[in-house]
Amino acid sequence: MKLFLLATLNGITVAGLYFIVAIGFTLIFGLMRVINLAHGSLYILGAYIGYDVATSTGNWYLGLAAGGVSVALAGLLIQSTLLDRIQGQEMRQSLVAIGLSIVIADLLLARYGGLAYQFDPPAILYGSVPLPIVRAYPTFRLVVVGAAVIVGLVIWLLVYRTRFGIIIRAGVDDRPMLSALGVNVPLVSILVFGLGAGLAGLAGVVGGSALSISPGEDARYLLSSLVVVIVGGMGSLSGTAIGALLIGLAEQIGLAYFPTYSVIVSFVIMAAVLALRPQGLMGRPE
Amino acid sequence: MDVSKITRILVVALLACGLAVSAAAQTSVRIGGVMTLEGPFTVLGQEAVRAMEMAFEEVNYSVAGKRIEWIKESSDGRPDVAVGKARKLIEQDKVDILIGPMSGGEGLAIKEYAKSVPGKTILNGFSAAQETTLVNPAPNFFRFGTDGAQWQAGLGSYVYDVKGYRTAAVVAGDYSFGYTQVLGFMTEFCAKGGKVKEKIWVPMGTKDFSSAIARIPDKVDAVYVMFGGADSVNFLTQYFQAGGKIPIIGGSNVTEQTVLSTKGPFQRHIIGIPSAHMVADGIEDPAYLEYVAKYKKRFPDGLAAPSAPFYGYYVATKAALTALAQVGGDLGGNQGKFREALAKLKLDTPTGPVILDENRQAIANIFVTEVAQRPDGTLYTKVVKVMRNVNQTLGQPRDAFVARGVPSRDNPSCP
């Protein structure tokens, strides 16, 4: 009972992290049809920048903000100088993004080396909280879930309750028509890319505090984002949440009960979804 | 430009490369290095690069009048990638000698590959799975470092006698090096009468260990943990975050310098963790102190002290250079003379003498340690016991030792 409860809690908390990373990924895909294969690099870039700011100022919250804002700016730059020029050419955009991710990974390795880094979050977020049955649970993991819920709500409000959101949704459905109505679609694309990138950077700081930052995390979170959005449905907010929960729970419950095969569980889920509902659980058919 | 023209240019370019290779072969020795510069073992790979660099610089990149050409390739810790890179170095770059790889599974795969290139010599870097040299060894694969089971010599007795632990649970990486280390620890701990109640194997690539931690039983005296690099940092952090109170016994790389040099909240909890390894930061032998001083001077941006992977690649490179010097750089006759010299080599290393057994596996000193803090705040491994000249069968007769089978998830067992 205790083990099951702990594994479930762990699954939900890890899902929170996957959600924050994948939501930016799915936003970018939804509007621009770009599979941003540099998304993992943006995650790790935000983590390292946030780490520098947090350690030099001694303030974890500043680090969090810096991770999000700086990577959002980097995203604006990437979209406006590189990807926007080749809009609509998926293969080229993917290749440019892969190239970019390799360059970023090597630059970060040169600057930060291979050692793992860890944030030192404020004591109030860091200890453990008493809970029934499982006794103590790390506070920060609950913070991750809280952060995911807030991010999810804000994005939902933005997309479904604001004028900017209407433009984004219209862009998802019919780009040329939106453009004909006088909306500056490239500008909207740049802003959405910045937003998605910023979320990846933010997730970097959150993930780096819950676990640690080290080279290779970029590929790991890119992969988890891909699996989450494939399961949930590309471009769908609720799908991303469901996908993240499914994958997080499968991973942790697998690790608790059948560790040898836990690695393949997420891929089995992905294969099943692709076979039965190729557009993802909440995705719309093409 | 038409296709045939491109082909012609390619052929010319290829020929030019080939000519360059054969021209260089007479005046130089090509030494390849395979190390992990990607993935969770990146920091170990960086140390390996530093190690080979320092060893080559000591001889000014020349041995027996020949210039040393050094070509390195990065693996990510997976056996197939390591073999791919070894192939590339031997078959395309035409290296004479290969040094590597880093991790257990890679070592097993490269040993098998070694059998298909009998004219080349491979010196193991830091990989330490037991069966690499214990079972069906390759005649051209030399390991001047001890293996993961040897590294645990003395630890089982130490925690039983001194710490008074009688029962333990094991949480370890689910791969050959993990099995090897657990076998090394359990051989002594179980012989003393200790019991290992539960073994939790965690798949490679796991970053979030919380559900594995949840499976640790409450009623054991200690938890034996075996992870390396960033994985060790993650495990320790999550263990203490989850309010873990049971004392930890560290596998070799848990309290290794690549972990101790990592800044983070977990550092507050790890002082006093016992472990054992082929190196220790607290060795006070003059040769070791000189080696540390040299490392710090050469790599001011390196770790607080040279790590175990540094030592592994450094000793392997030194062994290759020493044997090359002994045979005057003669690599003719399928490197027969060179290999003979390697097999007979008695190498003085910073941690003491190393000799090889009949399977070309090192016999060397092992250090039982505890994590301690220096006055300047840096953490190091303090030596509490030295085990001299530990061999691969841990002092037991070879036949009996081999008969017990290769280490696996269920071997050994003493519940």
Tell whether B281 lies on the interface with A, counting CB pairs under 8 A.
no
User: pTM for the complete prediction?
Assistant: 0.86
Is residue B268 scored above 90 in pLDDT?
no
pLDDT computed for residue A261 by the predictor: 85
In a domain, A118, yes or no: yes
Same fold, B3-146+288-350 and B150-282+365-403: yes
Element (H, E) at A19: helix A2-32
**Domain ranges within chain B, ordered by starting residue:** 3-146+288-350, 150-282+365-403
Range of the domain at A123: 2-218
Could you tell me how many CB contacts below 8 A there are between chain A and chain B? 127
Q: Do A260 and B174 touch (CB under 8 A)?
A: yes
Nearest to B284 by CA among B384, B158, B391, B389: B384
As a whole number, the mean pLDDT across chain B is 91
Chain A interface, Cβ < 8 Å to B: 2-3, 6-7, 10-11, 13-14, 109, 113-120, 126, 128, 135-138, 140-141, 211-212, 214-217, 220, 251-253, 255-256, 259-260, 262-263
The ipTM (two decimal places) reads 0.84
pLDDT confidence band for B304 (50 / 70 / 90): confident
Is residue B11 scored above 90 in pLDDT?
no
In a domain, A179, yes or no: yes
Higher pLDDT, A32 or B290: B290
Q: Do B265 and A253 touch (CB under 8 A)?
A: no
For testing contact with chain A, the best of B44, B210, B262 (most A CBs within 10 A): B210
Q: Do A216 and B76 touch (CB under 8 A)?
A: yes
* Mean pLDDT confidence for B304-309: 92
In a domain, A258, yes or no: no
pLDDT computed for residue A286 by the predictor: 63
pLDDT computed for residue A114 by the predictor: 83
CATH of B150-282+365-403, one of 3.40.50.720, 3.40.50.2300, 3.40.630.10, 1.10.1040.10: 3.40.50.2300
Lowest mean pLDDT among A31-40, A246-255, B215-224, B272-281: A31-40
pLDDT computed for residue A283 by the predictor: 84
Q: What is the CATH number of domain B3-146+288-350?
A: 3.40.50.2300
pLDDT computed for residue B12 by the predictor: 47
- How many CB atoms lie under 10 A from the CB of residue B114? 22
Instruction: Provide the number of structural domains found in chain A.
Output: 1
In a domain, A252, yes or no: no
Query: Cα dist. A81→A75, A109, B16, B112 in Å?
Result: 10, 24, 39, 49
pLDDT in tens, A114-148: 888 989 889 888 878 888 887 788 899 999 999 99
In a domain, A257, yes or no: no
Distance to chain B for A47, nearest Cα, Å: 14
Q: What is the Cα–Cα distance from B128 to A113, expressed in whole angstroms?
A: 24
pLDDT confidence band for B42 (50 / 70 / 90): confident
Q: Do A252 and B210 touch (CB under 8 A)?
A: yes
Lowest mean pLDDT among B3-12, B171-180, B322-331, B399-408: B3-12
